[in-house]
Structures are given as structure tokens and as C-alpha cells.
Amino acid sequence: MKKDLAVLFDMDGVICDTNPYHLKAWEKFAEKHQLHLEGKDLGYYIYGRTNRDALQLFIKDKAFANGNHFSDDQLTDLSEEKEALFRDIYRDHVELTAGLKNFLEEMKQASVPMALASNAPISNIDFILDATGTRSYFEAVVDATQVTKGKPDPQIYLRAAELLNVEPHNCIVMEDSTVGVEAGQKAGMKVVGITTTHSPEELSHTDLVIDNFAELSINELKNLLISGH
């Protein structure tokens, strides 16, 4: 029988507050490749996007030093290069977002199915799940290579719902990035915005804005679903 509630977690900015470290990694990467990143643009280019999409935006708008043409394999290599920088920078700072461990436990005790649905490459997903010891909480893990388009396309979240065998309208998405919020909403799901990466104002189009997981209970999630029907 299908369950009437599932929680789908984004990873970067939701499981761990990683985006400040991604920013540092992108800065290092940009320096090496002589890309000129400007402060106000950074969020637009990187937060929540797949590296391939971010790189293609850089290529289109900023011009890579080498003439701007990359094959698929080159994009994959550049993406891995940036993520290796990220893992080196973040390794000594790994920490779950506030209140998350208790929240995961509460959901597990209540038999609420949970999935991880991230635009990050699997190398980063493995790194975070192993470093935080949270792998066993997730019945399904979906990354961008398992679908044809990453977030903001809804496919990642729809695939996660399918793997959990829960209808999209019974899924609640936990997101920090505007790109991810768009994916969750396009999937027909309720979205809780967590203010690790964007301000409450920037997340005001979500169904609920929280600063950390200590503010969330299973009853609140159930109320969110009810309020939409």
C-alpha cells in the first residue's frame, strides 16, 4: 500500500551547510581557469545547480579562457576537478545541519519513508553520507545522472517519489536553493525552505520557511499536506 507521507531531502545546504565551502571551491577553480566570478552573480551560477549547468552558464556568459568549447567528457572532468577541491576544503568541517539528526530519527521512528535527491555528483553524495553516517536513513538516493535533466527540472524529485512508491502530492521536499524549490514545486510537492543559503524573503514562495530542523515536527508536516487539498 502507498504511504501518505514521504520526505525528500536535498543535500547541499540541507543535510550539511556546504554552500560557503562550495563557494570557496568555485573560487579556487575559477582562479585556476582564469574565470572572472563576480560576487553578485555567484549564487545565480552555482547554488543548487548541477556542475554541468553551472559550467555551461559560465561558458556562455563569462567565457572560459580556452575558447569556450567543451565536450561532455571535459565537462565531467571539470566538474570532478571542482568537487575534489570542495571535498578537500570541507573534509575537516563536516557537520549535520542543526536539529537534523533528531528529525531523521523522529521520521524513522514514525516509519516515514525518506529519500535524498541531489544535483551533486555521486562522489559528493557518497562523501557526505559516509562522513555524516546518515546513509541508512534514506530508502532511495537520486542524483542528476539518473535522470535526463537536473533541478530546476522536477525529474529528480519525481524519480525519488517513484522509488519510495509515494504519490508526488504526498511528498514534502526540504530545500535551500531557489533552483531546488522550483524543482519541488514543479513536481507538485510541498516545499519547506531552509534558510542556510538564501534569506527567508528569497524563500517566501515556499510552503513553510524554517531556520533549522528543530523547528519541524511530524505533525507540522502532516498539516502542510492537509492545507493543500
Residues of the shown chain interacting with ligand BG6 in the complex, contacts defined by CB under 6 A: 10-13, 19, 22, 46-48, 51, 118-120, 151, 177, 180
Nearer to ligand BG6, 52 or 190 (CB): 52
Closest distance of CB 216 from ligand BG6, Å:
18
Nearer to ligand BG6, 118 or 134 (CB): 118
Closest distance of CB 169 from ligand BG6, Å:
22
Closest distance of CB 83 from ligand BG6, Å:
6
Q: Look at residues 5, 10, 4 and name the one whose alpha carbon lies nearest to residue 193.
A: 10
Nearer to ligand BG6, 114 or 120 (CB): 120
Closest distance of CB 53 from ligand BG6, Å:
9
The residue type of 3 is K
What are the C-alpha distances in Å from 225 to residues 42, 83, 138, 171, 222? 34, 36, 21, 8, 5
Nearer to ligand BG6, 57 or 218 (CB): 57
What are the C-alpha distances in Å from 53 to residues 84, 120, 124, 154? 18, 11, 17, 15
Nearer to ligand BG6, 42 or 218 (CB): 42
What's the CA gap between 189 and 65, in Å, rounded? 41
Q: Which helix (H) or strand (E) holds 45?
A: helix 39-46
Taken as a whole, the chain contains a residue count of 229
What's the CA gap between 46 and 23, in Å, rounded? 8
Closest distance of CB 94 from ligand BG6, Å:
15
